[in-house]
Structures are given as structure tokens and as C-alpha cells.
Amino acid sequence: MEWLDRMAKAISLIESRMEGKTDIEELAREAYSSPFHFQRMFHMLTGFTVAEYIRRRKLTLAAQELASTSSKVVDIALKYGYESPESFAKAFRKAHGISPTDARERGIPLKAFPRLSFHLSLKGAQDMDYRIIDRPAVRTIGVKIATTTTDGQNSREIPRFWQQAHSDGTIGKLVEACPGKELLGICGDMDLANERFDYWIAAENDDRPADEQWKEFTIPAATWAVFPSIGPMPHAIQDVWRRIFEEWFPSTGYEHAAGPELEVYPDGDTTSPDYRCEVWVPIVKKQI
């Protein structure tokens, strides 16, 4: 497929710039997409961000150079974009479990993070239901945490956030404050270049002002692709997210509109095989 070729070209460009700075906008142009869509696709398809991939690849190449050459540690650090030997040593130890100096010793085990490649995987035909809707801005209230995609930290922190909100009564109070409204999980203020975003547990509310208990978040007006998820949480909705980026985006004329993403949770037994919720993704037509 065409999108596979584009992603492969972007990876080749990344690999050619390992000794310098990598510009996200240039990578996105190589993939014929917006910077936000490229970064979001990359993360959903690979499980790590562009920045994390580049960091791991540089530390792999640096380890190989330390083990096979007599180049100074400071020179290798600067070559791969680290401002000081200290910052390089800290990142190197986190990646390999040893110091850069130790990497020169014969027989020392090192970790290799290989270059990515994208391949088409043919699967059994399975319809993917969705609808496209336009919606004006919506005001919500709720609670939030700041999290990061680095090392998959968000995948651990968000479930804990929901568990805490249930156990400390926050969910019950939010339902009372927003009667008749569905609970929302919102990924907002996404800063993909720095691997950070805010995650909200919220509900629509036009009347209640923000206060010490509730903060306010406005979901902007947008065109949305809405996908149903049917099955027990969290596996059913995780599968929907995977298919959106692996199957739906590559096969349509749309890309991510760089706005917040929503999960809409109606009341019900979330462990039931019949539980139905939705994923909302903001979209725009591709500009090619």
C-alpha cells in the first residue's frame, strides 16, 4: 500500500539523520501527512513515539561505536546530539544498564534496538463500522492527570487514574454533577514532540462552573470519525484503537485533525461482552 512506502521513506530519512537533528515537519512531508498525524500514526503503529525511536536508535549506534572504536566518549556524545557527557552517560545507562566506559570492555552485553520496517499484514476481512459527524464545541468538567508516552507510561497511569477515581468517589460525584451525561475519557493538549499529554475523566456540563473539585475542558468544534466498541473493557476498545490506525486511516482519505481524542462510556457493565462504548477521533481530509 502507498502509505507503507511513505512510512518506509520517513524511516529512511530518520536513519540518514542520526548524527544530526531530525525535523518532524520534514519527516511528515516525506510521509505526505501533517506533523501531528505522522506522529500519532507512528506511535499507534509501533508503540513508541518518533522521539523515543530516534533516542533508542542513537544509543544503539553509540554503543556499537564505543565497542568497536577508540573515539572519545565526549565526541560520541556530541555526535549523537547530547549536550554533555553527563547527559549522554545518564541516557546510556538507562538504555544499556552500564556506563559508556564499561561498553568498551570485551564481552559486555549491550542492547540493540533495530531499525524499523513496515510490512503489509493480510488479515481476514472484517467490516469496520463508523460514522462521520460534525459537532460544535462542547464544554466539559472533570479531573485530569498529566502523563507521558515515554516507555508506555500512559498505558499504566491511565488505568490507575480510573481505578482511583472509582475508589475515591470521584466518578460518583461527577455523575451527580452531570446527570444524564456519559462519562468521557479525553486525551487533550497532546504535545507529541515532547511525549506528553493530559488525560481527563470528564462529562458534558454547560451550567456548573469550574471549582476546586472540577476543572473545565472545552472540546473544540470538529468533524469526527466515530467508531463503536462492543465487548468487555479494556480489550475491546484497545482493539478498536489499533484498527483505526492500522486499517482505517491508511485506507481512507482522512488524517488526524490534531485535536483531542475521546472515549465515550455509557452507563453499564463494562465487563459484559455486550458493553457498547465509542471512540471519537477528529479528522480532516488529506491535503496531497
Residue 106 confidence (pLDDT): 85
Residue 28 confidence (pLDDT): 93
Task: Parse the chain into domains and list their residue ranges.
Answer: 2-104, 131-285
Q: Are strands 183-191 and 261-265 parallel, antiparallel or unpaired?
A: antiparallel
Integer Cα distance of 45 and 225 in angstroms: 19
Integer Cα distance of 175 and 167 in angstroms: 14
Integer Cα distance of 202 and 263 in angstroms: 10
Would you place residue 288 in the very low, low, confident or very high pLDDT band (cuts 50, 70, 90)? Answer: low
Q: Is the pLDDT assigned to residue 124 strictly greater than 70? A: no
| pTM to 2 decimal places | 0.88
For residue range 156-190, list pLDDT tens digits in order. 999 999 999 999 999 999 999 999 999 999 999 99
CATH 3.40.630.30 fits 2-104, yes or no: no
For residue range 19-33, list pLDDT tens digits in order. 988 899 999 999 999
Q: How many CA atoms lie within 13 A of 7 on its CB side?
A: 24
Residue type, 100: P
Query: Which architecture characterizes domain 131-285 according to CATH?
Result: Alpha-Beta Barrel (3.20)
For residue range 37-69, list pLDDT tens digits in order. 999 999 998 888 999 999 999 999 999 999 999
Query: Is there a contact between 260 and 187 (Cβ–Cβ < 8 Å)?
Result: yes
255: Cα separation from own chain's centroid: 15
106: Cα separation from own chain's centroid: 38
Asked if domains 2-104 and 131-285 share a fold, the reply is no
Would you place residue 9 in the very low, low, confident or very high pLDDT band (cuts 50, 70, 90)? Answer: very high
Residue type, 212: E
For residue range 65-94, list pLDDT tens digits in order. 999 999 999 999 999 999 999 999 999 999
